[in-house]
């Protein structure tokens, strides 16, 4: 179904029942990316699957694409369609968009799950990797053409826009992540597109964060080991933090007045 959010005719799907859970797909893919995961979530949540501008069933709009524009679109979706605080699970570009929403509109977010989405280009594992629109089009163009109202021939235009964005963004400082108030799960593969050092820096910078590294996976971890990823995400979303026997990072701060 579609909802008009400003200039963007945004497509989304809904599945399941319960508290709202919004799944944010990665760059140049669409909501089908979560096919190996969504059935694990629908018995527990009302799952929303929006597709961002120029992705999936949502048509492209004139002008560049930026993370901030996509965050603004997501905020509009939460306000217009979901209309209550939601859990948000984002993968890759979707994770960074979710991160921005959590920083800028914390009242819209209950909990965040940030999968394989770094906060700065400084953390890229292969910083000099070329952005080859032709190769990307061969890889992802046919899938895009299956659902896009713009047609497969438009895919290189969107790929070029995302490439231009990726050449400059994201560019947050770790200190800025302190604005995230929601309880947050930071999840990466052990062979991801960002370094493990960067992922630990991200975990350290988010005040109420938990950390997971999925072994033996790459940036495609949600599809490579969906059962394990689903189990970790559901454990985070369905259960409160357990009492810790020997906390270090989470050790209570002594009361100076005591």
pLDDT tens per residue, range 202-215:
999 999 999 999 99
Specify the pTM: 0.96
- Rg of the chain over CA atoms, in angstroms? 18
At 255 the pLDDT is 73
Q: Decide if 3 contacts 68 (C-beta within 8 A).
A: no
Q: Decide if 160 contacts 147 (C-beta within 8 A).
A: no
**What CATH number is given to the structural domain containing 117?**
3.40.50.1820
At 254 the pLDDT is 78
Tell me how many domains the chain contains: 1
Handedness of CA 25, 26, 27, 33 (dihedral sign): negative
pLDDT bucket at 257, cuts 50 / 70 / 90: confident
Tokens of 123: 């953390």
Q: Is 237 a residue whose pLDDT tops 70?
A: yes
Cis amide bond preceding 170, omega within 30: yes
Q: Is 82 a residue whose pLDDT tops 70?
A: yes
Kindly state whether residue 20 falls inside one of the protein's structural domains. yes
Query: Phi then psi for 198, rounded to 5 degrees?
Result: -65, -40
Kindly state whether residue 252 falls inside one of the protein's structural domains. no
Contacts of 236 (CB under 8 A, 6+ apart): 111, 113, 185, 210
Kindly state whether residue 188 falls inside one of the protein's structural domains. yes
Instruction: Show contacts of 15-19: CB within 8 Å, 24+ apart.
Output: 15/42, 15/46, 15/47, 15/49, 16/41, 16/42, 16/43, 16/44, 16/45, 16/46, 16/47, 17/42, 17/45, 17/46, 18/44, 18/45, 18/46, 19/45, 19/46, 19/86, 19/87, 19/110
The mean of the pLDDT values for the chain is 97
Kindly state whether residue 244 falls inside one of the protein's structural domains. no
Kindly state whether residue 246 falls inside one of the protein's structural domains. no
At 64 the pLDDT is 97
Please tell me the distance from the alpha carbon of residue 185 to that of residue 110, in angstroms, as a whole number. Answer: 12
pLDDT tens per residue, range 107-160:
999 999 999 999 999 999 999 899 999 999 999 999 999 999 999 999 999 999
Burial of 154 (0-12, 13-18, 19+ CB in 10 A): middle
- Looking at per-residue pLDDT, the higher value among 253 and 213 belongs to 213
Quote the domain boundaries for residue 75. 2-238
pLDDT bucket at 258, cuts 50 / 70 / 90: low
Percent of the chain at pLDDT > 90 equals 96
Query: Phi then psi for 24, rounded to 5 degrees?
Result: -110, 110
Tokens of 201: 């820096």
Kindly state whether residue 53 falls inside one of the protein's structural domains. yes
At 252 the pLDDT is 86
pLDDT tens per residue, range 209-236:
999 999 999 999 999 999 999 999 999 9
């Amino acid at each position: 179904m579609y909802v008009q959010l400003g200039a963007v005719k945004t497509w989304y799907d809904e599945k399941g029942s319960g508290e709202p859970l919004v799944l944010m797909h990665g760059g140049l893919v669409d909501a089908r990316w979560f096919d190996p995961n969504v059935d694990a979530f629908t018995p527990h949540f009302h799952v929303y699957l929006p597709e961002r501008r120029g992705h999936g069933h949502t048509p492209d709009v004139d002008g560049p694409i930026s993370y901030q524009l996509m965050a603004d679109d997501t905020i509009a979706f939460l306000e217009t369609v979901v209309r209550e605080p939601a859990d948000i699970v984002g993968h890759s570009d979707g994770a960074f968009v979710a991160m921005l929403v959590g920083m800028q509109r914390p009242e819209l977010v209950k909990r965040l799950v940030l999968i394989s989405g770094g906060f700065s280009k400084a953390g890229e594992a292969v910083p000099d990797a070329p952005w080859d629109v032709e190769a990307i089009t061969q890889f992802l163009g046919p899938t895009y053409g299956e659902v896009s109202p713009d047609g497969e021939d438009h895919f290189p235009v969107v790929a070029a826009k995302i490439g231009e964005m990726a050449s400059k963004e994201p560019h947050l400082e770790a200190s800025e992540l302190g604005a995230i108030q929601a309880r947050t799960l930071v999840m990466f593969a052990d062979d991801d597109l960002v370094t493990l050092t960067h992922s630990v820096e991200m975990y350290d910078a988010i005040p109420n964060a938990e950390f997971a590294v999925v072994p033996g996976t790459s940036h495609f971890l949600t599809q490579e080991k969906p059962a394990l990823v689903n189990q970790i995400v559901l454990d985070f979303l369905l259960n409160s933090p357990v009492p810790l026997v020997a906390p270090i990072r989470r050790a209570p701060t002594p009361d100076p007045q005591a």
